[in-house]
Amino acid sequence: MNAELTQCPKTAGGRRLVCITGASGAIYGIRTIQALRESGCEVHTVASAWGERVVVEETGKPFSTWMNDFAVSQNQIYDCRDFAAPIASGSFPLDASVIVPCSMSSVGAIASGVCQNVIHRAALVCLKEARPLVIVSRESPLSLIDLRNLTTLAEAGATILPASPAFYHNPASMDDLVDFVVGKILDHLHVEHRLFKRWGSVETPSARNV
Ligand SMILES: Cc1cc2nc3c(=O)[nH]c(=O)nc-3n(C[C@H](O)[C@H](O)[C@H](O)COP(=O)(O)O)c2cc1C
């Protein structure tokens, strides 16, 4: 068997899939793609119909314009209705995937094994192939249905990473808050970054204050 067909081609930072759905917090998805590109990763990406709508509502710019700005290759941007896209198959090598932000609708679809679009299919492929899958959920408060669906995904191997920034790194701006969440995402995608100061490093506020 040709090893190139079964292993991820070794681009500098590897290959990641970033999916954007219609939850609030589109900027987390956009910034994740930007940070992965800056880290030298090959980024494949897809937005749901409502994901595209929320990107415009919250950032004032269409998803396609952002992707153009980050020089994401056109053949690595998928149509969410396209179940024939490479990411729909386990034979397509990916190092890790993230859905950011992830709506409760998509959480429910994936937790019940229903593929309403290629994002759900790619997530289920990720789970069956035992690859890292990060779900950046965004809803508040959570209903019992949401909690049960998130538990199902966690039990199936996904990492549930709610879009909830911390404050112990003394954020001075919205960018700092966004970068904290994005940094946590990159940690779980196994990508090195310097998006926030880590607790216990000499740079942390606590170290500076003593
Ligand atoms: C501006 C806006 C913000 C939304 N925010 C959320 C949210 O934070 N969480 C959520 O679960 N759904 C949210 N929704 C609803 C989802 O977009 C809706 O459930 C949609 O069906 C999700 O589909 P998708 O998962 O295929 O993108 C929001 C919708 C709009 C228009």
Q: Is domain 11-209 annotated with CATH 3.50.50.60?
A: no
Location of structure tokens 């609708």: 105
pLDDT of the chain, 210 residues: tens digit per residue: 344 433 444 445 799 999 999 999 999 999 999 999 999 999 999 999 999 999 999 999 999 999 999 999 999 999 999 999 999 999 999 999 999 999 999 999 999 999 999 999 999 999 999 999 999 999 999 999 999 999 999 999 999 999 999 999 999 999 999 999 999 999 999 999 999 999 988 665 443 332
50 three-state secondary structure: helix
Cα end-to-end distance, the chain, whole Å: 59
Per-residue confidence (pLDDT) for residue 5, from 0 to 100: 39
E-strand stretches of the chain: 15-20, 42-47, 77-79, 96-102, 133-137, 159-160
- CB of 107 closer than 6 angstroms to any ligand 1 atom: no
- CB of 15 closer than 6 angstroms to any ligand 1 atom: no
- CB of 21 closer than 6 angstroms to any ligand 1 atom: yes
List the residue whose alpha carbon is closest to atom 7 of ligand 1.
23
pTM of the model: 0.93
Residue 114 CA to ligand 1 center (angstroms) comes to 17
Q: What one-character-per-residue DSSP string does 19-43 give?
A: EE-SSS-HHHHHHHHHHHHHTT-EE
Residue 107: closest CA among 199, 116, 77? 116
Instruction: Give residue-wise pLDDT tens across range 115-157.
Output: 999 999 999 999 999 999 999 999 999 999 999 999 999 999 9
Residue 23 CA to ligand 1 center (angstroms) comes to 4
List the residue whose alpha carbon is closest to atom 3 of ligand 1.
24
Residue 99 CA to ligand 1 center (angstroms) comes to 13
C-alpha torsion sign, points 52, 53, 57, 60: positive
Per-residue confidence (pLDDT) for residue 203, from 0 to 100: 62
Regarding beta strands 96-102 and 159-160, do their DSSP bridges make them parallel or antiparallel, or are they unpaired?
A: unpaired
Residue 64 CA to ligand 1 center (angstroms) comes to 19
C-alpha torsion sign, points 80, 81, 85, 90: positive
DSSP class of residue 174 equals H
C-alpha torsion sign, points 113, 132, 78, 107: positive
Give, in degrees to the nearest 5, the angle at Cα 28 between 123 and 14: 55
- CB of 23 closer than 6 angstroms to any ligand 1 atom: yes
Taking the C-alpha atoms of residue 50 and residue 152, their distance in angstroms, rounded to an integer, is 24
Taking the C-alpha atoms of residue 84 and residue 126, their distance in angstroms, rounded to an integer, is 16
Per-residue confidence (pLDDT) for residue 116, from 0 to 100: 97
Contacts by 194-202, CB closer than 8 A, 24 or more apart: 195/35, 196/169, 197/169, 199/168, 199/169
Using CA atoms in the order 60, 61, 63, 64, what is the torsion angle rounded to 10 degrees? 170
Q: So where are the chain's domains?
A: 11-209
- CB of 149 closer than 6 angstroms to any ligand 1 atom: no
